[in-house]
A and B are shown apart, each in its own frame.
Chain A
Amino acid sequence: MIKAQYSLLLLASLLMLAGVLGCARSARVTSIEPAAASPGMIVQVTTDKAVFQSREAAHVEIGEQVAVIQNVLSATSVEVIVPNVAAGEAEVRVIERGKRAERSSVRLRILPARSQQLVLSFQNNNVSLLSSSLRGGEALRTAEPDQRRLSYDVFNEQGGFVYSGALVHPAYGRMEVYDETQTGDRVVRGDKPHEHAVFAVKIPNVPGGKLTIKFYDAPAGVDLSTDSGRAARQFLNEITINR
């Protein structure tokens, strides 16, 4: 009789424990679409529990970095932005407020980032690298052709020419000053840029371990898509990025 009582007590305890653990269990990710994505892309994450009643109720992590929710599609499904994590397999987890996160068997295949953002410094006719980070967006080539520009060519590990871009010269191109609040004709005017400039350029994420970028001073008005325009550039220096 006593044995039976103990068994019942034990069973009840186990049930309570299971209940407590069950309540505390965080939602599991059941699917991610598409299964492969590069940083900056939007992916749809679906869970086995209704946890997205609001944007604040839970958040998603991809590769241990927060993937910001872009859209709540339903209580079990959200669209998130893939954070800037390294290429490869990344775990996708849902973190509910006040609950421990469960390990997830669903993984996102992180594709190589599409581009690389470089922060550069220009001083004494020399360009140097301050930082670089991988990005999901496209490299942009837009530069005002009527301005003096800083042109750059990107070469891969084998020395192959893979990309060319230009931006308004950070030290000799246009810089604008916003002078007045009135809507007169002289609200905006040009000013001499600073000789020491810090600026950013985005280049394609070229496969391989080493990257060389050659910088040139390009006069205003020359067409950099032609051989003669490119020949009119003056070489400044080159930098090498080892990854």
Chain B
Amino acid sequence: MRTLKFSVLLLSLWATAASSAVNVQRNSDGSYYTAVLSNGSTSLKYDIVFIGDGFTSAQQAAFNARVTDAVAALQAMIPYSQRMCGLNIWRVNVISAQSGVDHPKDGVFRNTELDCRYGNPAVGEAERCIRSDSPAKCYEAADYAPDYDAVFVLVNDTQWGGCAGGLVFSSIAPGFAATITHELGHKIGALADEYDYYVGDGSDDNRTYLGPEPGSANLTKQTARASIKWNALIAPTTPLPTTVDTPPGVVGIWEGGGYYRFGIYRPQLRCHMRSTGNPFCAVCEGEMRTILGNNCTFCELNPGSLICYIRDWSKYTLVWQRPFRLRWPFPPCLTCPPDRLFDDIIIVLEQLPLGFRLQVVDERGQVIAESRPSEKGLQVEFKANRTQQYFVEVLSSEQATGEKLTLAPQLFRNGQIEPLPE
């Protein structure tokens, strides 16, 4: 009897666990996710996961096609198109029992895996605001991917709608990918919204901003030229504040942004962060390019570089001409324990002819360490902050001799020799 009770208890526990698990498609290799765009280790890339709701087992190909559309939209928009190397994109195929999602306003209800629905105006919700009544299940589905920094939920419905908080929901109506490109502006670049109302029903269209200087890159309350964050992009002849957009695309300070009409300024008249029909303004574009670029390796950004063809430094002999300058990115620490920010680095180059030197520059181009001769050859030491990117440079002086040069650098991180990545 006791055994029977225990079995019933076990069975009910199993049933509870099974009923709460998200129904995710298993691929032929046994995995539960698909790499749509895999550019490297999750520790180096910004990871995006797409999950779907209201797609039945037979409709998974349609979901896959919409994800492909979203990726194509990213690939077609600057600066994403130039910095796709900073992204990993994963897809998790969630299987719903029924097709479509709930429309409470119309009394239409569907049995879907992630319980997504359009807003219900009867209880004060915006109908266009798609959401899930089981957001934890959305994260559970995303959890099947190797990692996620942003989760996009595509619902199988062609009525326009989208809503973004922590999770981003979008229908698959034509143009839906603009929701993704705009939200990534917030999530990757910490860019502020540039529209000048909040609710947008006419009740808050004329507010004046009285707060401190905004922290985001694309808004300012400064009107003095030297104090404006994007001053370097403003032509000396552009009047401030700026009111004339001739020729189109004038960078200045345009009043309105961050949900306020007055007392706050944005860089250009039109921007993707103001209205999704536009490309990014120059400031937002630059910010996104920089941040995404930090997730790319030197060779991803400069695939034509000579350095990217070199597979084995110890065998490679360069025929050099004066002046000689060779630069390669300092490899990030992939296997270091996570509890320290700085690493002690020593780079040694043996067999360098006379007149050569070695130096390390940071991501702003500042030389932070120069070589000194050691018994092994030239040696450079520095403390590497793991949040920064560094480059190692070999340079020749006027006194450099020889015509051939073999490079075989040795890297010591925190006292341990480390193989250089190929």
Which residues of A are in contact with B by a Cβ distance under 8 Å? 34, 36-42, 55-56, 59, 61, 66, 68-70, 81, 83-84, 95, 111-112, 114-115, 117, 119, 121, 130-131, 133, 135-138, 140, 142-146, 162, 167-168, 170, 173-191, 193-194, 197-200, 202, 204-207, 220-221, 223
Given A36-B335, A190-B199, A185 and B275 contact (CB-CB distance below 8 Å): yes
Report the separation of the CA atoms of residues A133 and B143 in the bound assembly, to the nearest whole angstrom: 8
Nearest CB in chain A: distance from B135 CB, A? 4
Q: Is the C-beta of B247 less than 8 angstroms from some C-beta in chain A?
A: no
Report the separation of the CA atoms of residues A167 and B84 in the bound assembly, to the nearest whole angstrom: 24
Please give, as numbers and ranges, the residues of chain A lying within 8 Å of B335 by CB-CB distance: 34, 36-38, 111
Please give, as numbers and ranges, the residues of chain A lying within 8 Å of B162 by CB-CB distance: 176-178
Q: Report yes or no: B43 in contact with A167, Cβ–Cβ below 8 A.
A: no
Contact with A along B124-144 (1 / 0, CB 8 A): 001011010001101110110
Q: Report yes or no: A142 in contact with B164, Cβ–Cβ below 8 A.
A: no
Nearest 10 interchain pairs by C-beta: A183-B277, A145-B215, A40-B42, A178-B162, A189-B200, A199-B166, A198-B135, A59-B29, A137-B42, A137-B147
Give the contact stretch, choosing among B32-40, B55-63, B316-324, B397-405. B32-40
Q: Report yes or no: A202 in contact with B160, Cβ–Cβ below 8 A.
A: no
Q: Is the C-beta of B337 less than 8 angstroms from some C-beta in chain A?
A: yes
Q: Report yes or no: A121 in contact with B136, Cβ–Cβ below 8 A.
A: yes
Contact with A along B171-209 (1 / 0, CB 8 A): 001110011001100111111110101111000000000
Q: Report yes or no: A131 in contact with B149, Cβ–Cβ below 8 A.
A: no
Report the separation of the CA atoms of residues A177 and B374 in the bound assembly, to the nearest whole angstrom: 62
Q: Report yes or no: A183 in contact with B276, Cβ–Cβ below 8 A.
A: yes
Nearest CB in chain A: distance from B388 CB, A? 13
Q: Report yes or no: A179 in contact with B339, Cβ–Cβ below 8 A.
A: no
Report the separation of the CA atoms of residues A182 and B35 in the bound assembly, to the nearest whole angstrom: 32
**Interface size of B by Cβ–Cβ distance < 8 Å?**
78
Q: 28 A-B residue contacts at CB 8 Å? A: A34-B335, A40-B41, A41-B43, A59-B31, A66-B29, A68-B31, A121-B136, A131-B136, A135-B42, A137-B149, A142-B188, A142-B189, A143-B190, A146-B216, A170-B165, A175-B129, A178-B128, A178-B160, A178-B161, A178-B276, A179-B160, A187-B277, A197-B166, A198-B135, A198-B138, A198-B139, A202-B149, A223-B215
Q: Is the C-beta of B304 less than 8 angstroms from some C-beta in chain A?
A: no
Q: Report yes or no: A83 in contact with B195, Cβ–Cβ below 8 A.
A: no
Report the separation of the CA atoms of residues A59 and B191 in the bound assembly, to the nearest whole angstrom: 41
Report the separation of the CA atoms of residues A117 and B140 in the bound assembly, to the nearest whole angstrom: 11
Please give, as numbers and ranges, the residues of chain A lying within 8 Å of B128 by CB-CB distance: 177-179
Contact of B147 among A66, A135, A188, A190 (CB under 8 A): A135
Nearest CB in chain A: distance from B103 CB, A? 16
Q: Is the C-beta of B274 less than 8 angstroms from some C-beta in chain A?
A: yes
Nearest A residue (CB) for B200? A189
Nearest CB in chain A: distance from B52 CB, A? 18
Please give, as numbers and ranges, the residues of chain B lying within 8 Å of A170 by CB-CB distance: 165-166
Nearest CB in chain B: distance from A74 CB, A? 14
Contact of A187 among B29, B35, B188, B276 (CB under 8 A): B276
Nearest CB in chain A: distance from B101 CB, A? 15
Nearest A residue (CB) for B336? A111
Q: Report yes or no: A137 in contact with B175, Cβ–Cβ below 8 A.
A: no
Report the separation of the CA atoms of residues A142 and B219 in the bound assembly, to the nearest whole angstrom: 16
Nearest A residue (CB) for B126? A177
Q: Report yes or no: B276 in contact with A188, Cβ–Cβ below 8 A.
A: yes
Please give, as numbers and ranges, the residues of chain B lying within 8 Å of A42 by CB-CB distance: 40-41
Please give, as numbers and ranges, the residues of chain B lying within 8 Å of A178 by CB-CB distance: 128, 160-164, 170, 178-179, 276
Contact of A177 among B129, B136, B259 (CB under 8 A): B129
Report the separation of the CA atoms of residues A220 and B390 in the bound assembly, to the nearest whole angstrom: 34
Report the separation of the CA atoms of residues A193 and B31 in the bound assembly, to the nearest whole angstrom: 35
Interface contacts beyond A177-B126, A191-B129, A199-B166: sample of 15 additional A-B pairs, CB < 8 Å, sorted by A: A37-B334, A38-B335, A41-B42, A70-B38, A115-B338, A131-B139, A135-B146, A136-B146, A173-B165, A176-B193, A178-B162, A178-B178, A179-B200, A184-B277, A198-B139
Q: Report yes or no: A180 in contact with B126, Cβ–Cβ below 8 A.
A: no
Chain B positions 298-356 with a Cβ under 8 Å from a chain A Cβ = 334-335, 337-339
Q: Report yes or no: B274 in contact with A191, Cβ–Cβ below 8 A.
A: no
Please give, as numbers and ranges, the residues of chain A lying within 8 Å of B377 by CB-CB distance: none
Q: Is the C-beta of B211 less than 8 angstroms from some C-beta in chain A?
A: yes
Please give, as numbers and ranges, the residues of chain B lying within 8 Å of A36 by CB-CB distance: 335
Chain B positions 113-133 with a Cβ under 8 Å from a chain A Cβ = 126, 128-129, 131
Q: Is the C-beta of B152 less than 8 angstroms from some C-beta in chain A?
A: no
Nearest B residue (CB) for A61? B30
Please give, as numbers and ranges, the residues of chain A lying within 8 Å of B337 by CB-CB distance: 112, 207
Given A137-B47, A177-B162, A68 and B215 contact (CB-CB distance below 8 Å): no
Report the separation of the CA atoms of residues A81 and B337 in the bound assembly, to the nearest whole angstrom: 19
Q: Report yes or no: A66 in contact with B139, Cβ–Cβ below 8 A.
A: no
Q: Report yes or no: A198 in contact with B146, Cβ–Cβ below 8 A.
A: no
Please give, as numbers and ranges, the residues of chain A lying within 8 Å of B187 by CB-CB distance: 142
